[in-house]
Amino acid sequence: MIKTFNDMRNELMASGQRHRIAAVCVYDKATCDALHQVEEEGIASTFFIDGETPEDAAAKGVQMIHDGKADILMKGLIGTDLLLKAILHKEKGLLPAGHVLTHISVAEMPTYHKLLFIHCSEKPSPKFPFVDGYQDIKQMAEMNSFGPCLVDGPLDVKSACSLHALKAKGISSVLNGEADVLIMPDIEAGNAFYKSMTLFAGAHTAGVLCGTQCPVVVPSRGDSTEAKYNSILFALVSL
């Protein structure tokens, strides 16, 4: 059972697999160090992709995935917009028709007993942007549409992650205060949660783009080596 980033690493090391990362524009120390670390630990092979322009490098990285020469794409010191443009390219990109591009973050905190995944909801209705559709989604979950998982909501963060808070509110939930995943109502709430957990709750975090043909590691420029390393682990275990 993976409950920490360290568990992720141990699982990857035990698997003996060595997936390949195509990293685009590795010009900063944190990205470089994170890639060296996974290479040294033997959990991945890394390719540093350069180009005459950032656009060119991004296209090359995406092409490596298409050619089956790499399993994961990673962003170095290149604008996220430029990499996304290559990923979203209609013919040469990495997003299959009909797939939804999603960014999933995961946080490890000393005050929660397991990893907590966070992503934002899609296409809210303009009329009831945040409370519409819950019943439908819960029914779909009960019919196993999302695989073996329990879904409940709307719930506030405390009721979702604390049985004590749930009981104090006098409500019940199939989650029992044991949420593994929080789907935030919008990017504003997601961002406020994510940033404040890092700053005030000592959270270690990672993030990966999903919905694409392969996991894409898209760290922020300001992310530490550790955050970039954790994001690589997250991409590797999601393969």
Residues of this chain that bind its own copies (CB under 8 A):
109, 111-112, 130, 156-158, 161-162, 165, 168-170, 184-186, 188-193, 195-203, 221-222
DSSP designation for 204: E
For residue 225, the minimal CB distance to its own copies (Å) is 13
Pick 148 or 222: Cβ nearer its own copies: 222
Tokens 């443009």: give the residue: 85
C-alpha neighbours within 13 Å on the C-beta side of residue 74: 36
Sign of the CA dihedral with 201 first, then 116, 79, and 189 last: negative
C-alpha neighbours within 13 Å on the C-beta side of residue 226: 8
For residue 223, the minimal CB distance to its own copies (Å) is 9
For residue 168, the minimal CB distance to its own copies (Å) is 4
Give the CA angle between residues 21, 22, 23 to the nearest 5°: 105
120: nearest Cα among 188, 52, 53: 188
Pick 92 or 195: Cβ nearer its own copies: 195
For residue 25, the minimal CB distance to its own copies (Å) is 17
Pick 1 or 199: Cβ nearer its own copies: 199
For residue 43, the minimal CB distance to its own copies (Å) is 27
Pick 56 or 189: Cβ nearer its own copies: 189
3-state secondary structure string, 134-169?
A: HHHHHHHHHCCCCCCCCCCCCCCHHHHHCHHHHHHC
**β pairing state of 181-184 and 204-210:** unpaired
Pick 94 or 160: Cβ nearer its own copies: 160
For residue 161, the minimal CB distance to its own copies (Å) is 6
From CA 237, how far away is CA 195, in angstroms rounded? Answer: 24
Pick 61 or 190: Cβ nearer its own copies: 190
